[in-house]
Structure 1
């Protein structure tokens, strides 16, 4: 299988936009994990923490607006909008996970994917 370099670069760019939008708002501890070598359905996970459910809601809106503003895709599907403890925004080539601190600690996605490389996203 060949990888289109321009598609991969666009995906990394949009994931970084999502991460930056979170860090500029009420998000913290943002990481991008390259899961493309072990998962077939996506290439990158963006993991973000919000202090509480209101912050998770604000981050969800902020990320969606930022990715859209830079010409990125719309989410294919969004889950977790009923309680805003863990919102999953599926963009296809990348997935944004926005957690409250307690949910992030409980699900520990970074531990599950600890063998995958991190993608630098800070300026």
Structure 2
């Protein structure tokens, strides 16, 4: 499992929904991917963000370069350099609409913990 898949699964394990990877590297050039997820409440947002950090550290030896926001603000951002994890509460995600803002970026959504696959069952991304 690659790092973004690990982060996506960690978010899903903590009841995050609408988990999407946006491949923004060709558009913005400062990072390759955004991983975006939604939670229903601030406790779930905090738990999902903590689980992502824990799993990335345990499975890949990665520590974040920076963190911003808090569960109380409805948006937590964790920067890993080549990818950035954005966790939102539902209303905050709707407000900032990163999916719409970066709609020209290829995107990959996880359903029930499984990454998108092509017709041959090969993982996309």
Q: Which residue of 1 aligns with 2:94?
A: 105
How many residues were matched structurally? Answer: 112
Question: Within the alignment, does 1:76 sit opposite 2:65 as a pair?
Answer: yes
TM-superposed CA distance for 1:81, in Å, is: 2.5
Q: Distance in 1 between matches of 2:32 and 2:56?
A: 16
Question: Within the alignment, does 1:114 sit opposite 2:103 as a pair?
Answer: yes
Where 2:72 maps in the other structure, the secondary structure is coil
TM-superposed CA distance for 1:120, in Å, is: 5.7
Question: Structure 1 residues 17 and 117, CA, compared in 2 at 3 Å: closer, same or farther?
Answer: same
Contact 2:79 2:85 (8 Å CA) reproduced = yes
Q: Which residue of 2 aligns with 1:8?
A: none
Q: Which residue of 2 aligns with 1:36?
A: 25
TM-score, length of structure 2 as denominator length: 0.83
Contact 2:39 2:87 (8 Å CA) reproduced = yes
Where 2:60 maps in the other structure, the secondary structure is coil
Matches within 5 A, 1:1-40: 13-40=2-29
Contact 2:65 2:79 (8 Å CA) reproduced = yes
- Which ranges in structure 1 are unaligned for 5 or more consecutive residues? 1-11
Matches within 5 A, 1:40-51: 40-51=29-40
Contact 1:56 1:84 (8 Å CA) reproduced = no
Question: Structure 1 residues 105 and 120, CA, compared in 2 at 3 Å: closer, same or farther?
Answer: closer
Where 2:78 maps in the other structure, the secondary structure is strand
TM-score, length of structure 1 as denominator length: 0.84
Please report the RMSD computed on the Cα atoms of aligned residues, expressed in angstroms: 1.7
Please, which of 19, 41, 55 is the counterpart of residue 66 of structure 1? 55
